[in-house]
Amino acid sequence: MARPKPISGFPEFLPAGRFVETMVLRTVTETFELHGFAPIETRAVEPLDQLARKGEIDKEIYVVRRLHAADGEPDELGLHFDLTVPFARYVLENAGHLAFPFRRYQVQKVWRGERPQEGRYREFTQADIDIVGQGNLASHHDVEIPLVALDVFEKLHRDMGLPPVSLRVNNRKLLEGFYRGLGIEETAPVLQRVDKYDKIGPAAVRDLLTDELGLTAEQAAKCVALAGISATDESFVDDVLGLGVEDELLSNGLEELSALVRVARRSVPDRVVADLKIARGLDYYTGTVYETLLVGSEKLGSVASGGRYDSLATDGKTTFPGVGYSFGITRILAPLIGKGLLAANRSVPSAVLVAVDNEDTREDAIAVAAAIRARGIAVEVAPKADKFGKQIRYAERRGIPFVWFGSDSVKDIRSGEQVTADPATWEPPAEDRAPGVMPG
């Protein structure tokens, strides 16, 4: 059989990279639970008409069809491209069994027909949190969600060496109210053009607004001026008011966004930035929106994002508004792991290798390993009876820090220190019990 060729856009980590991913996911999910979010999992497929019913879905959806489907059988199922659409369906189906506000987290693979490039993949892992209400949802949850996100990112930065983040926030009410205050009735096309600000620059956005949408030069100039406002404190409010535009929806948006920035600044200073060019492309966002950049890797674009949606899920009688945030786990980790900037300090879980001096004593070695393993320490028994020097070199190649000899002797093969020990009570140093993350 010829050596298989990898399929682009479907990243697969070596064990050291996978250890990093599992450690990151453990921190992420433990933090979610500390904030009261409960886990769910949804099916991988959804009806195609449901996948495409919200937002601007311009990515290819992977269609699922049985290999032996009958001729003419329609392709009606597709792999989900995010976790929000299936979650909306899940809420509608299970509303009678959920306590609202419902706080959920979900970690699963998703699939998109993207052109593979750094930070963009066809199969990747997302970790989402949402708070969903029944009929209504208090605006203070819009402030809570980024605080959870910051808690996650600060732990990953402090404990695992991931880059710090800049969490950019805006409010769709602020934007739409501002545009209406300028006399612009159709605000969605303006949002779409302003969302290109970082890619094409303010002058090009101004040209799009006048040439494609027919805005006056003054209207376009004020839209671009609004997009250029950013601050890590509430000073952005005065900057917006200084543009001389008035509207009730604008006032509501300013109030909500300033509350978010004020509370976040008390929690983690200068990590949250009010950035008034952030609009988010999907049309179901109705209030606060979030985008997150890795400091030093801004060219990757947003690695985590979300926002408030007031009408994503409805059964025709009751609406389920919510606010959510999605962590692009693979988008964050794959470039860092691929460049060697993040790795585990060993590629196996084992802290100890129990040596076997000859096959007649293998049962004794297995008993020693069981005694150590009973206390939660990862152990493996040497696969081959050999000279101790060769078994030590085997442990070195696998990154195992300790080798156990006989029934009562353990050696730290890094320092060469060997001591007498009881397998029923011996403990390795805390940092050696399991693989850890080692920044490159």
73 within domain boundaries: no
Indicate if 243 and 370 belong to the same structural domain: no
Same domain, 364 and 252: no
Question: Is residue 357 located within the same domain as residue 305?
Answer: no
Does 386 belong to an annotated binding site? no
Sheet with 409-412: strands ordered across: 379-381, 352-354, 402-405, 409-412, 418-420
Q: Is residue 50 part of a domain?
A: no
| Run of H or E residues at 33 | helix 15-34
Is 346 annotated among the ligand-binding residues? no
- The verdict on whether residue 362 carries a ligand-binding annotation is no
Please list the alpha-helical segments (H only) found in 161-270.
172-181, 188-194, 197-200, 202-211, 217-227, 235-241, 248-267
End position of a domain, from candidates 315, 343, 371: 343
Q: What is the pLDDT along the chain (440 residues), one digit of tens a residue?
A: 678 888 889 999 999 999 999 999 999 999 999 999 999 999 999 998 888 765 445 568 898 888 877 776 766 899 999 999 899 999 999 999 999 999 999 999 999 988 887 778 999 999 999 999 999 999 999 999 999 999 999 999 999 999 999 999 999 999 999 999 999 989 989 988 998 898 899 999 999 999 999 999 999 999 999 999 999 999 999 999 999 999 999 999 999 999 999 999 998 888 999 999 998 766 678 899 999 999 988 888 899 999 999 877 888 899 999 999 999 999 999 999 998 889 999 999 999 999 999 999 999 999 999 999 999 999 999 999 999 999 999 999 999 999 999 999 999 999 999 999 999 999 999 999 999 987 76
Domain of 391, in residue numbers: 352-439
Q: What pLDDT sits at residue 268? A: 87
Place of tokens 């060019």: 277
Q: Is 84 annotated as a binding residue?
A: yes
Domain co-membership, 281 together with 214: yes
Q: What span, in angstroms and rounded, lies between the C-alpha atoms of 429 and 433?
A: 7
**Is the same domain home to 91 and 207?**
yes
The domain spanning residue 389 has which CATH number?
Answer: 3.40.50.800
Same domain, residue pair 237 and 386: no
Q: And the tokens for 148? A: 């959870």
Domain boundary among 313, 343, 373: 343
126 is in an annotated binding site: yes
Structural domain contains residue 105 = yes
Cis peptide before 435 (omega within 30 of 0): no
Q: Among residues 289, 316, 343, which one ends one of the domains?
A: 343
Task: Say if residue 183 is in the same domain as residue 38.
Answer: yes
Residues 334 and 394 in one domain: no
Domain count, the chain: 2
82 assigned to a ligand binding site: yes
On whether residue 69 sits in a domain, the answer given is no
Distance CA 78, CA 52 (A): 10
Q: Are residues 382 and 337 in the same domain?
A: no
Is 43 part of any known ligand binding site? no
Classify the C-alpha dihedral 77-79-81-87 as positive or negative: positive
Residue pair 113/59 in contact by the 8 Å Cβ criterion: yes
CATH code where residue 39 lies: 3.30.930.10
Is 198 within the bounds of a domain? yes
33-to-21, 76, 158, 165, 362 alpha-carbon distances in Å: 18, 35, 19, 22, 43
CB–CB of 428/372 below 8 Å?
no
